Amino acid sequence: MKITVLSGGVGGARFLRGLRSHLAAADPAAEVTAVVNVGDDMWLSGVRIAPDLDSIMYTLAGENDEVRGWGRVGESERVSAELRAYGVGWPWFTLGDLDIGTHLARTSMLRDGLTLAEATDRITARWDLGVRLIPATNAEVETHVVTADGETMHFQEWWTRHRAALPATAFVHRGIENATPAPGVLEAIDDADVVLLAPSNPVVSIGPIVAIPGVRSALAAATARVVGVSPIISGAVVRGMADACLTAIGVETAADAVAVHYGSRASGGLLDAWLIDETDAALLPAIKAAGIAARAVPLWMRDPATSAALARDALAIAAAL
Amino acid sequence: MKITVLSGGVGGARFLRGLRSHLAAADPAAEVTAVVNVGDDMWLSGVRIAPDLDSIMYTLAGENDEVRGWGRVGESERVSAELRAYGVGWPWFTLGDLDIGTHLARTSMLRDGLTLAEATDRITARWDLGVRLIPATNAEVETHVVTADGETMHFQEWWTRHRAALPATAFVHRGIENATPAPGVLEAIDDADVVLLAPSNPVVSIGPIVAIPGVRSALAAATARVVGVSPIISGAVVRGMADACLTAIGVETAADAVAVHYGSRASGGLLDAWLIDETDAALLPAIKAAGIAARAVPLWMRDPATSAALARDALAIAAAL
């Protein structure tokens, strides 16, 4: 079976880890491709940062910091301290030393003329991830946030420096109209037996992926079923600050509202089916009324076992359609 | 008094530290400008390395590793280990974490459009160095080595990876014919009361500086006396592998041979005077015969006191001319 997962960072990483765990027993021959958001990427102090690609890689490699919830385990910040002492960079953006190793490896490859997808292939080859990671695009389509007072800033500045607390009115994926999917992205959608939308931020993780010209039409034309997993449980985000993003684009922070935002594939949207949490079971009729199959299952990825069960449930609803 | 010092890395750094120490008592109002070689600079993993500028900065800041003889004290190599694990970079080239902080600060500024001289001003502002550092040029004129078997490689590869053990036939300062001195370099020479050539590698440290179009003629026209300090004592290099460089260009590893290589200013060369070590006193007549004033003094910079005494001797011979 070929499974393609559209994914953001930490939530996507945990979902992919659960999927890999589930498949190890259920279908060891399955091939999983993760199409990863690059809207959070940026140049910082001359190096190329790709937070979502790295979060997924570290998590699948078992190198992520489970306690902190992001970055590398056993991290240190000696380089960052130097940068601050020189008055360089964004003092509020943490660059771990091990993480900088990844950034510099990537940057070196990009400077040598490799595409981001080629660099990602080389960088991920260090570990046996069991999942192929493809950036959604090789283009630099960074997400910027327009705030209520008319300022525009890089998503990372809004998210990390301002903790998503500045009211936002729009998210702009700069240059995305001229971007093309990275090699392998459309093929991964075309050839998939199942396409999954990870429980990632709908606005700034899944949003930028499907906004790349060609991706939405590939999803519409895919023979695979497209199943999404809600990032919202009981009217709240599981992690991160996706609620601030949803509010900015006028979508309620609710599992059914996100499904309606994605839309039914039958009506030109993205979804054949949508998984919500058991606590949100009352929302099932509203989702089904929008033309989207739905099930309520345990959605919290508390540990590898619950993450694997969630992946199993996502595949099960696809098979049942 | 205005003193301008043409300088390479570690030898130059110790000499400058000694000069600063001497002047603190002898002439606190003196202004010292170091014109620093950039031929060793390179792009590595997307960051700009400037070994001579950094060696001098760390030494004058008291942040250098005295035991190892180069780099930052208290250094670690976590980023480097990551780069090696990703198969990136030059595995034989050590990039310390603290050092990478400096490289990234510089790279960030260069990417922002600053010149190397402007970046150097900002970076050195972190510490009270007591010496103004100016890169010899803002241009990227990296030194490459042609080996006896016809291969060409970056100086750092020849020096660090091959420990200068591959017979060399030539040193090429790529693009130097189109380089211009950094702003302030010619002024520092024109306005100086004394110009000193630090006991740095004549071929790959002092050589690239005076090969920048305009520098040699500025030295020729300077009202200041130009005094050099021999990097050779008793027919051997004080540190490093300058002998391999001298051999490659057909100059004997001897204090008088280097003086003759630099040449007398009266005959279109660089030097008014040349300091050699006491143990080389027998070479004084040969140097004077070349039209260069000379003195034999204690040349080993064993500690701050001997370094300060050497700087005092260099200024003394200039004053006596």
Find the mean pLDDT for residues A39-59: 95
Asked if residue B246 belongs to a domain, the reply is yes
Asked if residue B150 belongs to a domain, the reply is no
Alpha helices in chain A (DSSP H): 10-26, 51-61, 78-85, 97-111, 116-124, 155-156, 185-190, 207-211, 215-221, 242-248, 255-262, 284-289, 304-320
Considering only CB atoms, A89 lies closest to which of B47, B108, B126, namely: B108
- Residue pLDDT, tens place only, B28-44: 999 999 999 999 999 98
Cα A117 from Cα A11, distance rounded (Å) = 21
Q: Which residues contact B248 (CB under 8 A, 6 or more apart)?
A: B145, B167, B168, B169, B170, B171, B203
Asked if residue B54 belongs to a domain, the reply is yes
- Residue pLDDT, tens place only, B249-269: 999 999 999 999 999 999 999
Find the mean pLDDT for residues A289-318: 96
Asked if residue B151 belongs to a domain, the reply is no
Q: Quote the crossing angle between the two packed helices B97-111 and B116-124, to the nearest 10°.
A: 130
Using CA coordinates, name the residue in chain A closest to B125: A86
Cα B275 from Cα A166, distance rounded (Å) = 66
pLDDT (0 to 100) of residue A152 = 95
Task: Determine whether the interchain pair A100/B82 forms a contact, defined as Cβ–Cβ distance below 8 Å.
Answer: yes
Using CA coordinates, name the residue in chain A closest to B77: A97
Report, in angstroms and rounded to the nearest whole number, the Rg of chain B calculated over CA atoms. Answer: 19
Residue B227, CA atoms < 13 Å, CB-side half-sphere? 25
Average pLDDT, chain B: 95
Cα A305 from Cα A197, distance rounded (Å) = 20
Cα A285 from Cα A274, distance rounded (Å) = 12
Query: Which chain B positions have a beta carbon within 8 Å of A110's beta carbon?
Result: 46
pLDDT (0 to 100) of residue B201 = 95
Testing the interface with B: which of A54, A104, A112, A124 to mutate, by most B Cβ within 10 A?
Answer: A104
| B53/A contact by beta carbon, under 8 A | no
Per cent of chain B over pLDDT 70 is: 100
pLDDT (0 to 100) of residue B240 = 79
**Are the C-beta atoms of A285 and A263 separated by less than 8 Å?**
no
- Residue pLDDT, tens place only, A203-218: 999 999 999 999 999 9
Asked if residue B165 belongs to a domain, the reply is no
Q: Is A118 exposed, middle or buried (0-12, 13-18, 19+ CB in 10 A)?
A: middle
pTM given for the model:
0.92
Q: Quote the crossing angle between the two packed helices B97-111 and A97-111, to the nearest 10°.
A: 50
Per cent of chain A over pLDDT 90 is: 90
Whether pLDDT at A92 is above 90: no
Phi, psi (degrees; rounded to nearest 5) at B194 = -140, 140
Task: Determine whether the interchain pair A83/B89 forms a contact, defined as Cβ–Cβ distance below 8 Å.
Answer: no
Asked if residue A18 belongs to a domain, the reply is yes
Considering only CB atoms, B108 lies closest to which of A45, A78, A100, namely: A45
Find the mean pLDDT for residues A43-48: 90
Query: Which chain B positions have a beta carbon within 8 Å of A102's beta carbon?
Result: 82, 86
Task: Determine whether the interchain pair B79/A87 forms a contact, defined as Cβ–Cβ distance below 8 Å.
Answer: no
Q: Which band of pLDDT confidence, cut at 50, 70 and 90, is reported for residue B129?
A: very high
**Are the C-beta atoms of B220 and B268 separated by less than 8 Å?**
yes
Task: Determine whether the interchain pair A88/B104 forms a contact, defined as Cβ–Cβ distance below 8 Å.
Answer: yes
Phi, psi (degrees; rounded to nearest 5) at B139 = -75, 155
Which structural domain, as residue segments, surrounds residue A229?
2-141+175-320
Q: Which band of pLDDT confidence, cut at 50, 70 and 90, is reported for residue B298?
A: very high
Strands A42-44 and A47-49: antiparallel
Whether pLDDT at A89 is above 80: no
Structurally, chain A folds into a number of domains equal to: 1
The residue among B107, B125, B98 whose CA lies nearest residue B42 is B107
Comparing A5-9, A33-37, B43-47, B245-249, the range with the smallest average pLDDT is: B43-47
pLDDT (0 to 100) of residue B166 = 92
- Residue pLDDT, tens place only, A104-117: 999 999 999 999 99
Comparing B89-93, B271-275, B284-288, the range with the smallest average pLDDT is: B89-93
Three-point CA angle A78, A76, B61, nearest 5°: 15
ipTM score for this prediction: 0.91
Whether pLDDT at B198 is above 90: yes
Cα A25 from Cα A148, distance rounded (Å) = 49
Query: Which chain B positions have a beta carbon within 8 Å of A107's beta carbon?
Result: 45-47
pLDDT (0 to 100) of residue A134 = 98
Q: Which band of pLDDT confidence, cut at 50, 70 and 90, is reported for residue A261?
A: very high
Find the mean pLDDT for residues A170-175: 94
The residue among A52, A37, A216 whose CA lies nearest residue A137 is A37
Would the CA dihedral through B133, B39, B62, A95 be positive or negative?
positive
Whether pLDDT at B113 is above 80: yes
Token reading at A130: 């069991």
Q: Which band of pLDDT confidence, cut at 50, 70 and 90, is reported for residue B241?
A: confident
| B89/A contact by beta carbon, under 8 A | yes
> What separation in angstroms does the CA of B289 have from each of B88, B252, B259, B268, B277?
53, 17, 11, 15, 18
Asked if residue A30 belongs to a domain, the reply is yes
Whether pLDDT at A269 is above 90: yes
Whether pLDDT at B281 is above 80: yes
Asked if residue B288 belongs to a domain, the reply is yes
**Are the C-beta atoms of B227 and B292 separated by less than 8 Å?**
no
Whether pLDDT at A276 is above 80: yes
Testing the interface with B: which of A43, A58, A108 to mutate, by most B Cβ within 10 A?
Answer: A108
Task: Determine whether the interchain pair A101/B111 forms a contact, defined as Cβ–Cβ distance below 8 Å.
Answer: no
| A119/B contact by beta carbon, under 8 A | no
Cα A117 from Cα A137, distance rounded (Å) = 8
| B119/A contact by beta carbon, under 8 A | no
C-alpha A30: how far from chain center: 21
Residue B60 is inside which H or E element, if any? helix B51-61
Whether pLDDT at B183 is above 80: yes
Report CA dihedral (B127, B137, B264, B248) to the nearest 10 degrees: 100
Q: What is the CATH number of the domain that holds B33?
A: 3.40.50.10680
3-state class of B174 per DSSP?
Answer: coil
